[in-house]
């Protein structure tokens, strides 16, 4: 596969065909690291394209549903093999369009590979269960069944991993898909569609419609023929999607914001904690919902930790993620960079101490992209906006705490509940923190980022609505349970009314 695949296959993928938008309109997608790098030209789609894609998915659904799950698995295995074969070129394409450094882009593709193989393995499982009936000569069991056409609305920060998390689970369960990728990163989903096409996925099972949230996303999630909606993005948009889906009771999965805390206790390995904080705060340029944006540090070690953190942050190399030796790439857009700059000014006004960074970087080659210096605030308090609101950029905040108990209280004081972490050598406090952090993901002596695909991913509070993705739990979103009773007694038996004696 060539990294120019996005230029060759830049249409919508509907019913197995690559098609322009019905409007004929297009938009350019340029690298956030280098405005001179044109990644591709993509369709600016609308309602007519959504209708065509949903119709194709609806038409393909009965045949795909009735395809034996092990056969569906063979196609996902083939997709995983193609992703493995093309990993390096897909990673380079992703770095060009999203900006994350190449090593991280390889990891993004690897998550898609891992999810393809994990989901394919479920093709010979998809377990239901049997259970004894309360009546004689009666058999009871339950099975999973697919739901129908699934709408996937995916973000730009993990432009292949998250689409793969959702689509692999939906496909192995027997659903068909219409996906709307983020307009900042359509090329990676176009490439994923090309992988499915080569793997032999039947036409109409996986459809891609590229366009804005208002023109594509809104009519897609409210379409009468869409039975499942899975969205990853901001809490504000998720709340709006939830309201839009409520009247028709669509199955809805929401994965939204985070404001994640690392609690660094007085007995922590400070050097290890610094490395975890740097990776958690500045990996993917801080553009992760699991980013370590709050560092709650015990007052006994806060001075040492902060000094080492700032020194380490200043060594990070910022630049184009395709270049060797780069630690931090650009923000995805000028809009996102302006948001980060605005929060830096808010932090200064609130009285936090700017210890390093806090500025746009535009010298030399950096002038062609959306770069921002890794930024650390010190002496912050829990009530500051920079301590409570999701910034989604390379900014982290050090908040001194007096005790383990205060650290837990502050960690749980925000509206989000995605990921958390504690650094300690005390096994008792480690297990207490595991229990008491109000998050869906938790780490001990590690950063708040680094989830693996065979465990459920998701959060509580304003981060999610109770569902998870990845792992076996991801299949729950895309399946319904059906309970089945087979009575071979030859006469009417009434469960919950007949006693064992009268039924004999």
Characterize 450-477 residue by residue with b for buried, 16 or more Cβ atoms within 10 angstroms of its Cβ, and e for exposed: bbebeebbbbebbbbbebbbbbbbbbbb
Q: Which pTM was predicted?
A: 0.93
The pLDDT, as a whole number, for residue 1 is 46
Place of tokens 């499942």: 228
Catalytic annotation present for 289? yes
Q: List the chain domain ranges.
A: 5-256, 260-444
What value, to the nearest 5°, has the Cα angle with vertex 93 and ends 458 and 172?
Answer: 45
Catalytic annotation present for 255? yes
The pLDDT, as a whole number, for residue 471 is 87
Fold category of 5-256 in CATH: Aldehyde Dehydrogenase; Chain A, domain 1 (3.40.605)
Rounded Cα distance, 77 and 119, in Å = 9
The CATH H-level (homologous superfamily) assignment of domain 260-444 is: Aldehyde Dehydrogenase; Chain A, domain 2 (3.40.309.10)
Q: Indicate the DSSP class of residue 471.
A: T
The pLDDT, as a whole number, for residue 498 is 77
Residue stretches of the chain with pLDDT short of 50: 1-3, 5-6, 503-504
Place of tokens 């060594």: 315
Among residues 44, 97, 215, 289, the one annotated as catalytic is 289
Among residues 111, 122, 215, 255, the one annotated as catalytic is 255
Residue 130 bridge partners (DSSP): 141
The pLDDT, as a whole number, for residue 452 is 92
The pLDDT, as a whole number, for residue 501 is 58
């Amino acid at each position: 596969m060539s990294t120019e695949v996005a230029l060759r296959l830049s249409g919508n993928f509907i019913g197995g065909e690559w098609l322009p938008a019905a409007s004929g309109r297009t938009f350019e997608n340029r690298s956030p690291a280098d405005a001179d790098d044109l990644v591709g030209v993509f369709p600016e789609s609308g309602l007519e394209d959504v209708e065509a894609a949903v119709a194709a998915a609806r038409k393909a659904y009965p045949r795909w549903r009735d395809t034996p799950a092990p056969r569906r698995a063979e196609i996902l295995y083939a997709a995983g093999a193609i992703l493995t074969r093309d990993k390096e070129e897909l990673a380079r394409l992703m770095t060009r369009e999203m900006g994350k450094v190449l090593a991280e882009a390889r990891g993004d593709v690897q998550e898609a590979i891992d999810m393809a193989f994990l989901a394919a393995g479920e093709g010979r499982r998809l377990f239901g269960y049997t259970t004894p009936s309360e009546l004689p000569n009666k058999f009871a069991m339950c099975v999973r069944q697919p739901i129908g056409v699934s709408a996937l609305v995916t973000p730009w920060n993990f432009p292949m991993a998250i689409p793969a998390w959702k689509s692999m689970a939906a496909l192995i369960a027997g659903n068909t898909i219409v996906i709307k990728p983020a307009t900042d990163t359509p090329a990676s989903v176009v490439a994923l569609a090309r992988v499915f096409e080569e793997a032999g996925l039947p036409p109409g099972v996986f459809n891609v419609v590229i366009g804005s949230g208002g023109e594509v996303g809104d009519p897609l999630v409210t379409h009468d023929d869409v039975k499942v909606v899975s969205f990853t993005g901001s809490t504000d948009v998720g709340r709006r999607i939830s309201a839009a889906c409520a009247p028709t009771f669509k199955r809805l999965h929401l994965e939204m914001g985070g404001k994640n805390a690392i609690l660094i206790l007085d007995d922590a390995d400070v050097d290890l904690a610094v490395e975890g904080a740097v990776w958690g705060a500045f990996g993917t340029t801080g553009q992760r919902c699991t980013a370590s944006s709050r560092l709650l540090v015990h007052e006994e070690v806060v001075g040492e930790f902060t000094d080492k953190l700032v020194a380490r942050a200043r060594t990070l190399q910022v630049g184009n993620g395709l270049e060797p030796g780069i630690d931090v790439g650009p923000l995805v857009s000028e809009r996102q960079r302006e948001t980060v700059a605005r929060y830096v000014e808010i932090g200064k006004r609130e009285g936090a101490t700017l210890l390093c960074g806090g500025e746009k970087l535009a010298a030399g080659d950096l002038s062609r992209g959306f770069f921002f210096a890794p930024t650390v605030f010190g002496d912050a308090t829990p009530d500051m906006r920079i301590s409570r609101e999701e910034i989604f950029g390379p900014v982290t905040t050090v908040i001194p705490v007096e005790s383990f108990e205060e650290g837990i209280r502050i960690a749980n004081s925000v509206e989000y509940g995605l990921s958390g972490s504690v650094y300690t050598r005390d096994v008792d406090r480690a297990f207490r923190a595991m229990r008491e952090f109000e998050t869906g993901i938790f780490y001990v002596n590690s950063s708040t980022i680094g989830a693996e695909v065979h465990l459920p991913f998701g959060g509580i509070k304003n981060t999610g609505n109770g569902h998870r993705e990845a792992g076996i739990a991801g299949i729950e979103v895309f399946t319904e349970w059906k309970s089945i009773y087979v009575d071979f007694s030859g006469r009417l038996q009434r469960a919950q009314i007949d006693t064992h004696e009268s039924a004999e």
